[in-house]
Amino acid sequence: MVAPPDNDVLWARALHFSYRDGSPALSGVSLGVQQGEILAVTGPRGSGKTALLRCLSGQAPARQGEIWFNSVPVHTMGAQARERLRRDRFAWIDPTPSLVPELNVWENAALPLMLRGTGRRRAKTAATEWLERLDIGALARKRPHQLVRAERQRVSIARALAPAPTVLFADEPTAPLHRADRTQVLRTLTNAARSHGVTVVLAGQDAESAAFADRTLTLLDGRRVNTVHLPPVTEPEGRAACSLSV
Amino acid sequence: MLALRLSRGARPAVQLRRLLVAAASAGTGFLLLCALGYAMSHPESPAEASLRLVWCLPPLASTIHFAAAVARTDPGTRPRPGLDAVGLGPLRLTLLSAATTALACALGSMLALLVFLHLRGDLTGMPFDGAAAASLAADSPLPLPAALTLLALVPVTASAAVAVVLRPGEPVAARTGAAGPLPRVGGHDRPGRRETFGAYGRFGARRRRGEPAAAEVNGAAPAGEAPADALTADGRSPDRPEEESARLPGPVPPRPAPRGLPWGVAVLAAGLAVESYAARAGDGGPVLPAALPTGPTGVLAGWLLTALGLALAAPGLTHLCGRLVQAVRPGPLRLLAGRGLMAEATRIGRPLGVVCAVASAAYASALVSGDAASAAFGPLSTLGAVVVIGCAVATLLTAAVEARQDRADTTAALLRLGAPTATLRNAAVLRACALLLLFVPLTLAVAHLAALPLAR
């Protein structure tokens, strides 16, 4: 077992992962994420971005390979230990904001802090501070179903940032949004992370997320590639043959 | 055929629920046939025979109640995008659930007929041949139309009730646009993400008329949203079916808090008052079969009113219970438990109220009827009581399963956050304890009050 480099907060080597039905997702991905860095993971749909993030955050155990977090092996941890790691060190943003529908906005944002054992008042203060910073302080007492989607996504960003995580995993946080909202959400997310020294692993399909990141990692069919060279789409396949046969 | 294929492929838990429906239907069918047997062997007393038939109503009602609850949680017959795409829309799936219910109930009826014939001595070759030949009028031939009519009663009423409960509440055409599932970005199915079955009042079946759509209520302007969401916002109602939440992104507006509490309390009080007045009047009342405590007719009406009041008040009380659990500066445990209870108040509260009504009736009759009476508690009364109590409890448990499946998405999201599973489990335990703490004393108190006028 090779110890990871010291300056990497998150380090993975030769990750292999396949879904339960056996279809491959990752085949031999290695990467290192430095402290305070914003790493964009890009690639077309089905290239294994979500699988990589889920493996790195300990939600799904990798079939092969090693994952180290701050020189602690994640791949050998049990389910309980990974759960604690997720709660205490990591934060996660879903593609579609998944808030608890019964809780109002500030309670949703304060929930991870409260689950860590922080007192209610301190959790509320931290949560409302982040809501203010993300321009949704006025909505603190509303329920999630009263918000539009971009606002809900900002609430989930506040929820992810409020407990001051070491690493924030954002799985296509802008996927269901329109372009204007998309840029704004990405900007608030990356600015907030930079100002608080939070390491971010940001998955995204478009080049836009790469523009906000320090470094970009491109995946294609579960492998890490430097540049995506796909054959150019010229004309519909088979059309020439059909016209010849007439 | 499709109903058969769909029911064959279900998981054991679902099959168990269907078997329970069949068992309840068998019990009810047997009671009905026994009423027929009594009528045949006592042709001189039609009034008593019809009274026995009337006493089959509580088991019948609870069987139908249970069958409807099971149909709501049935994963085989809920709308699925795949089936919707091939043209098997919500309307036909409703018919399919009715057919599945009819299947289970008919199975039970067949069983009841077999046992009945066996006990009469018409079918031989097994132990207890003709054990009850005398009381079931074995000497006269069984009137087939009468038996078939009685046996068809449970399947027909149960499937009709299921069709009414699950009927699509809004035009199918308006829904199809929003029905497709938004493809999961990233293409990875989440582990632990369960199908959320059988929403309470799916397709907006519970949608109250005259209530404005939630988009207007909330003031949430759908204008800035993506088109798919705008579609939901337009059709949203406060009672929007939960399964839409699995299909469409975004939270579903919660159901409004149950408002039946004042009505329930009023009906409960009226029932108790009627009972105590009627007990004083003392007109002898109808003769009840077996060992049920006899009393004036007014007392019986009072009991019915009391039971109705309990069932009406229970959703409101459940909501109140949740509100109390999350009341003063709650931590995460009390917050999740209390708010969850408030959100599920209607779904859990209704069957809970029925359970309380049945339990208080059972307790009160046990209080009133002495030892001598309980010795005379015949096998048929026992069967009826078992069917009623069993159905009430099973309906409550089914509703709890439904609620859990409905919240599977939220639970999965909480687990992704790293919420300890122990916290979620403790929240569920806390909910159950809070409900027990509120409803057990209430049931006992109502039972004591109901038994009071008769015990004097």
Is B449:B305 a contact under the CB 8 Å cutoff?
A: no
Domain housing A140: 93-164
Based on the fold, state whether residues A192 and A208 are members of the same structural domain.
yes
Band the pLDDT of A138: cuts 50, 70, 90: very high
Burial of residue A210 (CB within 10 Å: 0-12, 13-18, 19+) is middle
Separation of alpha carbons B33 and B109, rounded Å: 10
Which chain A residue is nearest to residue B415, measuring alpha carbons?
A83
Based on the fold, state whether residues A49 and A73 are members of the same structural domain.
yes
Number of domains in chain B: 3
Based on the fold, state whether residues A84 and A102 are members of the same structural domain.
no
Ranges A129-143, B23-37, B131-145: which has the least confidence: B131-145
Q: What is the pLDDT of residue A211?
A: 86
Based on the fold, state whether residues B154 and B205 are members of the same structural domain.
no
Judge whether residue B426 has pLDDT over 70.
yes
Based on the fold, state whether residues A85 and A140 are members of the same structural domain.
no
Band the pLDDT of B439: cuts 50, 70, 90: very high
Q: What is the pLDDT of residue B28?
A: 95
Residues of chain B contacting residue A98, judged by C-beta atoms under 8 Å apart: 409-410, 412-413, 416
Separation of alpha carbons B38 and B59, rounded Å: 18
Q: What is the pLDDT of residue B262?
A: 92
CA distance B345 to chain A (A): 12
Beta pairing partners, A202: A40, A170
Based on the fold, state whether residues A146 and A174 are members of the same structural domain.
no
Structure tokens at B309: 């009041």
Mean pLDDT of A4-17: 83
Separation of alpha carbons B416 and A115, rounded Å: 13
Residue percentage of chain A with pLDDT more than 90:
27
pLDDT digits (tens, 9 = 90+) for A29-40: 999 999 989 999
Domain harbouring A37, CATH code: 3.40.50.300
Which chain A residue is nearest to residue B335, measuring alpha carbons?
A103
Judge whether residue B410 has pLDDT over 70.
yes
* A142 secondary structure, DSSP code: S
Judge whether residue A232 has pLDDT over 80.
no
Judge whether residue B318 has pLDDT over 50.
yes
Phi, psi values for residue B131, rounded to 5°: -65, -30
pLDDT digits (tens, 9 = 90+) for B284-301: 555 555 445 555 677 778
Number of domains in chain A: 2
Band the pLDDT of B27: cuts 50, 70, 90: very high
For chain B positions 322-381, those within 8 Å of chain A (CB to CB) are: 329-332, 335-336, 339-340, 342-343
Say which residue the tokens 């992810």 belong to.
Answer: A160
> CA B158 → CA B53, B68, B164, distances in Å?
18, 7, 10
Based on the fold, state whether residues A183 and A116 are members of the same structural domain.
no
Based on the fold, state whether residues B226 and B309 are members of the same structural domain.
no
A98–B416 CB contact, under 8 Å: yes
Judge whether residue A169 has pLDDT over 90.
yes
Give a yes or no: residue B383 inside a domain. Answer: yes
Based on the fold, state whether residues B417 and B320 are members of the same structural domain.
yes
B22 touching A (Cβ < 8 Å)? no
Mean pLDDT of B39-66: 88
Separation of alpha carbons B161 and B67, rounded Å: 9
Give a yes or no: residue A236 inside a domain. Answer: no
Separation of alpha carbons B268 and B18, rounded Å: 34
Q: What is the pLDDT of residue B353?
A: 93
Based on the fold, state whether residues B75 and B157 are members of the same structural domain.
yes
Residue percentage of chain B with pLDDT more than 90:
34
Give a yes or no: residue A107 inside a domain. Answer: yes
More confident call, A77 vs B370? A77
Please report the ipTM that was assigned to this predicted complex. Answer: 0.82
Ranges A154-163, B164-173, B259-268, B394-403: which has the least confidence: B164-173
Based on the fold, state whether residues B76 and B215 are members of the same structural domain.
no
Mean pLDDT of A158-168: 91
Based on the fold, state whether residues A80 and A120 are members of the same structural domain.
no
Give a yes or no: residue A245 inside a domain. Answer: no
B256 touching A (Cβ < 8 Å)? no
Mean pLDDT of B305-326: 92
A60–B191 CB contact, under 8 Å: yes
Ranges A44-58, B116-130, B158-172, B334-348: which has the least confidence: B116-130
Separation of alpha carbons A62 and A14, rounded Å: 10
Give a yes or no: residue B208 inside a domain. Answer: yes
Mean pLDDT of B3-14: 75
Based on the fold, state whether residues B243 and B267 are members of the same structural domain.
no
Q: What is the pLDDT of residue B304?
A: 86
Amino acid residing at B153: L
Based on the fold, state whether residues B343 and B450 are members of the same structural domain.
yes
Based on the fold, state whether residues B353 and B241 are members of the same structural domain.
no
Domain housing B69: 2-165
Residues of chain A contacting residue B328, judged by C-beta atoms under 8 Å apart: none
Give a yes or no: residue A244 inside a domain. Answer: no
Give a yes or no: residue B379 inside a domain. Answer: yes
> CA A198 → CA A34, A35, A153, B172, B310, distances in Å?
10, 8, 18, 48, 54
Band the pLDDT of B217: cuts 50, 70, 90: very low
Give a yes or no: residue B191 inside a domain. Answer: no
Give a yes or no: residue B192 inside a domain. Answer: no
Band the pLDDT of B178: cuts 50, 70, 90: very low
B1 touching A (Cβ < 8 Å)? no
Query: To the nearest 5 percent, what fractions of chain A are helix, strand and coil?
Result: 35, 25, 40
CA distance B178 to chain A (A): 15
B229 touching A (Cβ < 8 Å)? yes
Ranges A48-62, B109-123, B158-172, B191-205: which has the least confidence: B191-205
Mean pLDDT of A180-206: 88
As a whole number, the mean pLDDT across chain B is: 76
Give a yes or no: residue B252 inside a domain. Answer: no
Nearest to B299 by CA among B322, B271, B320: B271
Mean pLDDT of B401-410: 87
Separation of alpha carbons A61 and B104, rounded Å: 42
Phi, psi values for residue B50, rounded to 5°: -70, -30
Based on the fold, state whether residues B228 and B314 are members of the same structural domain.
no
Give a yes or no: residue B253 inside a domain. Answer: no
Mean pLDDT of A157-184: 88
Q: What is the pLDDT of residue A135?
A: 86
B220–A147 CB contact, under 8 Å: yes
Ranges B233-237, B330-334, B416-420: which has the least confidence: B233-237
Based on the fold, state whether residues B386 and B279 are members of the same structural domain.
yes
Based on the fold, state whether residues A193 and A130 are members of the same structural domain.
no
Based on the fold, state whether residues B287 and B422 are members of the same structural domain.
yes
Judge whether residue B177 has pLDDT over 70.
no
Which chain A residue is nearest to residue B323, measuring alpha carbons?
A102
B192 touching A (Cβ < 8 Å)? no
pLDDT digits (tens, 9 = 90+) for A66-97: 999 988 898 888 888 888 899 899 999 988 88
Residues with Cβ within 8 Å of B70's Cβ and at least 6 positions away in sequence, in order, are B17, B18, B20, B21, B101, B104, B398
> CA A126 → CA A113, A144, B420, distances in Å?
9, 19, 21
Based on the fold, state whether residues A26 and A140 are members of the same structural domain.
no
Based on the fold, state whether residues B205 and B292 are members of the same structural domain.
no
| Domain final residue, candidates A118, A141, A164 | A164
